[in-house]
Amino acid sequence: MAEAKQAPDAYDALLDHYETVSGLGDAAGILSWDQEVMMPEGGTPARSKQKSAVSTVRHDLLTDEKVADWLDDLEDADLTDEQESVVREIRRAHERAARVPSDLVAEISEKTSEAHPKWKEAREEDDFSIFAPVLEDLIELKKEYAEHIDPDAAAYEVLFADYEPYLDLDTAERVLERLRDELVPLVEDIRESDTELADPFDSEFDVDTQEDLARDVLDALGYDWEHGRVDTAPHPFSSGTQFDARVTTRFDPEKPVDALMSTIHEFGHARYTLGLPREQYGNPLGESRDLTVHESQSRLWENHVGRSRTFWETFLPDVQERFSQVADATPEDAFEAANEVFEDNLIRVEADELTYHMHIVVRFEIERELIEGDLDVADVPEVWNDKYEQYLGIRPDTDAEGCLQDIHWSHGSFGYFPTYSLGSVLAAQIYDALEDDVGPVDEKVREGDFDVIADWLETNVHQHGARYTTPELIQKATGEEFTADYFLDYAHEKYGELYDL
Amino acid sequence: MAEAKQAPDAYDALLDHYETVSGLGDAAGILSWDQEVMMPEGGTPARSKQKSAVSTVRHDLLTDEKVADWLDDLEDADLTDEQESVVREIRRAHERAARVPSDLVAEISEKTSEAHPKWKEAREEDDFSIFAPVLEDLIELKKEYAEHIDPDAAAYEVLFADYEPYLDLDTAERVLERLRDELVPLVEDIRESDTELADPFDSEFDVDTQEDLARDVLDALGYDWEHGRVDTAPHPFSSGTQFDARVTTRFDPEKPVDALMSTIHEFGHARYTLGLPREQYGNPLGESRDLTVHESQSRLWENHVGRSRTFWETFLPDVQERFSQVADATPEDAFEAANEVFEDNLIRVEADELTYHMHIVVRFEIERELIEGDLDVADVPEVWNDKYEQYLGIRPDTDAEGCLQDIHWSHGSFGYFPTYSLGSVLAAQIYDALEDDVGPVDEKVREGDFDVIADWLETNVHQHGARYTTPELIQKATGEEFTADYFLDYAHEKYGELYDL
């Protein structure tokens, strides 16, 4: 009895303490949002110190010995399933943070501060050698970091788990290999086909009008303005909590479809966040599952909704009302424009649904070899370009358009990229389960009913927070294990039809 | 030698620790700014927890025993004058925080959370009795709080020192009594005079155009957009750091002059913040002196610049370019409109430069008696109304327009109000010293040169941060002790001339 009673005390104390940790994390999120969206440029030096103050105290609280003691007390405690999940998540966060010496954390933080401007300079100067030395240092530091967390595991595996804790790296690798093996020939077939897709959006589109349109689309998708807002930022992102989940986007006069798809993508992230249970705010049951699941939500809305024929049947009239340039376009034209497979695109963030995964595979293969010591930093540009030629049939002329295009490595993020592909793959699996459950979604979307999607996702994914591990959540939401089957079926069917293959 | 060496170690450790405390304080400032300006309404529950997390850890760090140990080590250390100032300020902050039991801090925080909606309801229902019980509780708690900080001092004195730590309450009282004794007859004379001031702004003014105008005025005053921004908020305020000091304002179609003066007022606060030394960010030498000095800066810009004849000579053409309604107005008309003494205004925030102080005197006298136990909460409305009749010659018909108009008591802020008047008084003293030093400012302002003001204030006030106590800073900047002479001379001269007395 005494034993059973002691456990819940430790549990309550742990939860109480974690609520502060969580509040600090969300406070840091607001500081970052403000920095990207609102802060005047000159504010940077103070903001860096504010963010560092918040993250330092957050780290200190998370790694506090009290936390270890409570977790020890709870080791054999008699807990409910929900409580077990809460303890599992906090334990994981605590252990990963506590195992890494503070000095190393500080060193990595300093090195990334140094790396970011070097990366920018290298990209501007189109000279990888400017970035190479600091990248080498960062790789060494991150290997050391991984070694502290789990000396028995491969370093890349440990780093990958920072972004996707529960899908193991073998699964990720299998999926990425299947994508490579099946999509490379599909893209080749598309290239060799004579089909030319329509592009009614080949002119200039006023950005203020684009913004009005984006707001109307968000409205129609059911974005809750009482708990969100949309702003522009150089790199679109979404951040916040179930009480306040914000979207940023950007507009380019020449790329109205990109802007709209990007807005819908960020809406998908925000909608996930808003679907987390409010009464669990401040503990893992009120937190989202990690990057794979998050990305599945954004991709589901972007690809399966925004890039669908039905979406354009529904929204083209709204677009035409605002832009006379597309007055003569048919929904089919617009649908084609939103799904063109680009022959010569070198840039990941501008890629279509298919070639996108090749961009990821290249990065995955390279960063894994870098971390495992099988590739020298100096050789990255050449290997990068070779792989682009091999998988995408194009070769970058410059490092700026090649291995310097992404910011991630300069942040010390290795293992992040694969979650983009895993999320897209999972989106297809979840969308299939959704249709299994509620019938064809198209008919409802045509009537402007997007709630059928949002509600199903909220019930089957969002409301669970981080209660289940990624494989458990996938099993629960879709009735089966994680698989690339649905995505590949979807890709073959959609693009086979579009390109008359 | 060993002794002398130990001191600087403790000093460095203290400074390092305090930088985190300070970063957390500024992070909390961003959370509040965001809440007032950007946050969607539904974000409140999460934001409250985030703010509470940040302020709790900040309080814990500030009251940490390590801080007490470092301060002990530094008691007899051989420090420079600047270091002495840093230690004085941190010691004061630490002691005031450490002396109050956490339970009481939490209780006050809970009680103010409860009081705020009660106050709102009471004001909406125009029924003081809704607010009275919680106000009574708050007064008791704040008396207890004061007792912990200094059991030997009068409670109101201790509370006043939360907002103005170094000007003693006797000084404040003497100044307020002089204001009352000299301004009550001056306002009576104005009422009895037959002079009617011009009011060319008696129509409707488009708020977007007002906002453009406000931005142009801020530009002309020298607001640094690299380190600031302006937004609208229901209650104008300014917040931030020397790297990022933001202004908020609000616009009413019927009150364009109010909006402009309010914008200039907040600019004055922001300009002070921006003038703090950047290299001292994160320690008291980079922090502003307290509310009296802060308010002196906002009032100087608002009253001595914005409400001056020269300002309107300079800016009226810009106003007329935007608003044809005032095409025929002369600068003298506009100057008069910006300085009308209202005969029947009951609302502090809408008061002119003279009657403003009577609004403060009423609150000062009442809150002091409440805290000292010389007045029952139940009697507040009647005493309030009597004092308005006595000092301002008008009697509120309702509590909403009377003792319920201000938010401060619902926040548990007792002792705050006097600093508004002290700041105005100090503004006149500083403005006189400025002119003593650089000659008549008018001529320069007429040429659009506001830098002469800003630069002088930066050199003589802002750059010192919190190095000097308030009386020291006043002495240093103006060459004499704090005095109401300059303000009263200014008031008699300006309003004597305006109203032909």
Question: What's the one-letter identity of residue B474?
Answer: I
Contact A23 B281 (CB under 8 A): no
pLDDT along chain A (501 residues), means of 10: 57 97 98 96 95 95 97 94 97 97 92 93 96 98 98 98 97 97 95 93 97 97 98 94 97 96 98 98 98 98 97 96 96 97 92 96 98 97 97 95 96 97 98 96 90 98 98 98 98 97 90
Closest in B20, B31, B39 to A56, CB measured: B20
Handedness of CA A437, A438, A442, A448 (dihedral sign): negative
User: What pTM does this model have?
Assistant: 0.95
Overall average pLDDT of the B215-229 stretch? 97
Q: Quick one: pLDDT at residue B2?
A: 40
Taking only the tens place, the pLDDT of each residue in B333-388 is: 999 999 999 888 999 999 999 999 999 999 999 999 999 999 999 999 999 999 99
The interface residues of chain A toward chain B in range 254-313, judged by CB-CB distance below 8 A, are 278, 281-282
The catalytic site residues of B sit at 266
Q: Quick one: pLDDT at residue A324?
A: 96
State the CB neighbour count (10 A cutoff) for residue A126: 14
Closest in A38, A57, A244 to B42, CB measured: A244
Sheet holding A244-249, edge to edge: A230-232, A244-249, A238-241
Contact A49 B281 (CB under 8 A): yes
- B455 three-state secondary structure: helix
Overall average pLDDT of the B414-440 stretch? 97
Q: Quick one: pLDDT at residue A34?
A: 97
Overall average pLDDT of the B114-125 stretch? 95
Residue A142 burial (10 A CB sphere; 0-12, 13-18, 19+): buried
Q: Is B398 on the interface with A (CB under 8 A)?
A: no
Find the largest Cα–Cα distance for chain A: 77
Closest in A24, A31, A278 to B53, CB measured: A24
Contact B46 A224 (CB under 8 A): no
As a whole number of angstroms, the distance between CA A79 and CA A433 comes to 32
Overall average pLDDT of the B230-244 stretch? 96
Q: Is B104 on the interface with A (CB under 8 A)?
A: no
Q: Quick one: pLDDT at residue B3?
A: 43
**Contact residues, chain A, for B52 at CB < 8 Å:** 23
Taking only the tens place, the pLDDT of each residue in B20-64 is: 999 999 999 999 999 999 999 999 999 999 999 999 999 999 999
Percentages helix, strand, coil for chain A, rounded to the nearest 5? 70, 5, 25
CA distance B411 to chain A (A): 23
Contact B243 A47 (CB under 8 A): yes
Question: pLDDT band at residue B194, thresholds of 50, 70 and 90?
Answer: confident
DSSP character string of B205-250: --HHHHHHHHHHHHHHHT--GGG--EEE-SS--EEEETTEEEEEE-
Q: Quick one: pLDDT at residue B342?
A: 87
Query: For chain B, what's the residue count?
Result: 501
Angle formed by the axes of helices B291-299 and B418-438, nearest 10°: 60
Contact B40 A242 (CB under 8 A): no
Cα end-to-end distance, chain B, whole Å: 69
Closest in A30, A40, A56 to B244, CB measured: A40
**Contact residues, chain B, for A30 at CB < 8 Å:** 30-31, 34, 50
**Contact residues, chain A, for B240 at CB < 8 Å:** 43
DSSP H or E stretch at residue A357: helix A355-372
Residue A352 near residue A340 (C-beta atoms within 8 A):
yes
Q: Quick one: pLDDT at residue A194?
A: 87
For residue B244, the cross-strand partners are: B241
Angle formed by the axes of helices A417-438 and A470-478, nearest 10°: 20
Residue A21 CB-half CA count within 13 A: 20
Question: What's the one-letter identity of residue A481?
Answer: E
Q: Quick one: pLDDT at residue B6?
A: 45
Q: Quick one: pLDDT at residue B4?
A: 43
Q: Is A402 on the interface with B (CB under 8 A)?
A: no
Q: Quick one: pLDDT at residue A343?
A: 83
- A246 three-state secondary structure: strand
Nearest one of A165, A198, A110, A263 to A470, comparing CA atoms: A165
As a whole number of angstroms, the distance between CA B267 and CA B358 comes to 25
Taking only the tens place, the pLDDT of each residue in B134-158 is: 999 999 999 999 999 999 999 999 9
Q: What is the mean pLDDT of chain B?
A: 96
As a whole number of angstroms, the distance between CA B417 and CA B349 comes to 12
Residue B422 near residue B167 (C-beta atoms within 8 A):
yes
Two tokens at A265?
């993508």
Q: Quick one: pLDDT at residue B209?
A: 97
CA distance A297 to chain B (A): 22
List the catalytic residue out of A266, A336, A367, A458: A266
* DSSP 8-state code for residue B308: S
As a whole number of angstroms, the distance between CA A262 and CA B193 comes to 67
